[in-house]
Chains A and B, each alone.
Chain A
């Protein structure tokens, strides 16, 4: 059986990759994908922890596994709102480059 720490390390790497993506990518679509990566890293960590906690009771493990479904739903809702705003922006500008979003100034 693969140890929990390997799963957690992988999820930390995924989370970091997502975080770096959010901070460096310029296309809004890539930013969405990076955020998705961060959320799925959290899902992976929760499933791994749920397995490691299963020794201390089914309920403890179920808590983590149920949370994954909630986070999946959250991620889907988030992307639908984000894409909605993106479509509105794209209609006006024909670009998804977030660096061009710099009109609001003092």
Chain B
């Protein structure tokens, strides 16, 4: 009996994930004897940078068809590029947490190891070439995230966030696992390409469609697509802001990386009504996310609904996965990681040590008291709203173009219409910062690492807006994504 391909390991493909794993263990052991949480933070940052160097080296080696374990762990361009985005988001979350953990009394040594493990799970999801690898990646990503949401011990809101996230996350992953079992029953394989090839014949379509629908629902929970988004506002509000900085970026990238690959391979082989269901879900997500965000007073909750809305725009790219949607979504995720982590980084500097005071009123007069911080926040808000010359605009244009190319014109129109709605709640933050008088004590908390994170986000957001070509060209090596699986 032979096991073709299962045991071939390409260490160039595995290197980013392995670096994260080793660093997590080192940071955990080192954390036992460290004086405060800044030592482990430095270790974690070095690990993320090392993983990033390996990923960049692999990305430019031109070895796009590299894979490990017989197409179960892929090293193609989308996988490696999204790995880089995940590492970028993780690095920014580490920088934002650097001083904030000590300030909020949350400096337990397990924080950074858990964050690295969660990032490792997201990397595995982005690289997964079969459903079992996907399940493992999803769990490695989610389990530390549940613990991190409840990180503020003795804080009832943080505990509540952790429990809600855990219960809905476990429910979602049960759906994904059952859907995987059904797809295996219908096709006899877990590898995406083999599943798609076996389903082309049209056998056992009820089993396959039910399996596909459950996989979509399970991943929909992680990606916060409506109607599976209900956990997001409460978890984002209750969890520590530094953790939300991490979650809102890394978990979203991991979930969408997996969804993109499945949408490009498995979904087209299933019955067309599944794609119609996805279209309805995306439309619902766009409307619910944007209109509910409009009604929020707390900035954390507003950004939570805004992240649901952005899941909707990314969902548009899912529907167009085979019409340039993959590159568009990867570009959108890159910008989203920068601008969203940037906005949350500013939020951590404005709110108080226990994360309270994220009300819009707290931003009043920020333009005068902290001009640099306010200017950065204004850029992030404009980019999230999709104003030209910033990365968010380019991402939206690419996504809408792909949607129209795929023939979903009405969805593109809905996307553009809801973007206009979104401008209201993003502009409101800017209006508060510059045109309202401050009625409370000025914000005094400063943190150099957090400032570095904001600067990186700022440069990246602007750079992807004025020079989007090089990154999009790099991401557009699409066909590899589909071939041979």
Contact A22 B167 (CB under 8 A): yes
Per the bound structure, the CA–CA distance linking A49 and B180 in Å amounts to: 11
Contacts of A38 in B (CB 8 A): 171, 174-175, 177-178
Specify which of B132, B167, B301 is in contact with A70 (CB 8 Å cutoff): B132
Main secondary structure of the interface of B (DSSP, over half): helix
- For the complex, give the distance between the alpha carbons of A59 and B184 in Å: 13
Interface centre among A28, A39, A102 (most CB of B within 10 A): A39
CB distance from B224 to the nearest CB of A (A): 16
Please tell me if the beta carbons of A85 and B178 are within 8 angstroms of each other in the complex.
no
B122-165 contacts to A (CB < 8 Å): 132, 135-136, 139, 143, 146-147, 150, 153-154, 156-157, 159-164
Binary contact track A2-15/B, C-beta < 8 Å → 1, others 0: 00100010010001
**Closest residue of B by beta carbon distance from A14:** B178
Main secondary structure of the interface of A (DSSP, over half): helix
Which residues of chain B from 233 to 254 have a CB within 8 Å of any chain A CB?
233-234, 237-238
- For window 155-209 of B, CB contacts with A under 8 Å fall at 156-157, 159-164, 166-167, 170-171, 173-175, 177-178, 180-182, 184-185, 188-190, 207
CA distance A102 to B167 in the complex (A): 14
Whether A103 lies near B189 (C-beta < 8 A) is no
Enumerate chain B residues within 8 angstroms of A105, measured Cβ to Cβ: 237
Task: Pick the contact of B146: A48, A63, A82, A101 (CB < 8 A).
Answer: A82
Within the assembled complex, what's the spacing in Å between the Cα atoms of A18 and B171?
Answer: 9
Is B296 in contact with chain A by the CB < 8 A criterion? yes
Contact with A along B88-127 (1 / 0, CB 8 A): 0000000000000000000000000000000000000000
Of B163, B234, B296, the contact of A85 (CB 8 Å cutoff): B163
Name the A residues within 8 Å of B182 (CB-CB).
Answer: 45
Whether A89 and B188, one on each chain, are in contact in the complex, defined by CB atoms closer than 8 angstroms, is no
Instruction: Choose from B177, B184, B296 the contact partner of A63 (Cβ within 8 Å).
Output: B184
Does B470 lie at the interface of the complex (its beta carbon under 8 Å from any beta carbon of A)?
Answer: no
- Shortest CB–CB separation between residue B301 and chain A, in angstroms? 5
The answer to whether the Cβ of A1 comes within 8 Å of any Cβ in the partner chain is no
| Residue B298 at the chain A interface, CB threshold 8 Å | yes
| B298 interface neighbour in A15, A19, A106, Cβ under 8 Å | A106
Q: Are A58 and B163 neighbours in the complex by a CB distance under 8 Å?
A: no
Task: Write out the residue numbers on chain B whose beta carbons fall within 8 Å of the beta carbon of A58.
Answer: 1
Q: Most chain-B Cβ atoms within 10 A of its Cβ — which of A19, A28, A81?
A: A81
Closest A-B pairs by Cβ, 7 of them: A38-B174, A49-B185, A45-B181, A104-B238, A42-B178, A42-B181, A101-B160
Q: Which B residues are closer than 8 A to A by beta carbons?
A: 1, 3, 132, 135-136, 139, 143, 146-147, 150, 153-154, 156-157, 159-164, 166-167, 170-171, 173-175, 177-178, 180-182, 184-185, 188-190, 207, 233-234, 237-238, 296-298, 301
Q: Give me 8 A-to-B residue pairs in the complex whose CB atoms sit less than 8 angstroms apart, sorted by A's number.
A: A15-B174, A35-B171, A84-B147, A88-B153, A89-B160, A102-B160, A103-B160, A106-B298
- Interface of A with B (CB < 8 Å)? 4, 8, 11, 15, 18-19, 22, 28, 31-32, 35, 38-39, 41-43, 45-46, 48-49, 52-53, 56, 58-60, 63-64, 66-67, 70-71, 74, 77-78, 81-82, 84-86, 88-89, 92-93, 98, 101-106
List 18 extra interface pairs beyond A46-B184, A77-B139, A88-B159, CB under 8 A: A4-B185, A35-B170, A42-B174, A48-B185, A49-B181, A59-B3, A66-B132, A74-B136, A78-B173, A81-B146, A81-B166, A82-B146, A93-B156, A101-B164, A103-B160, A106-B233, A106-B237, A106-B298
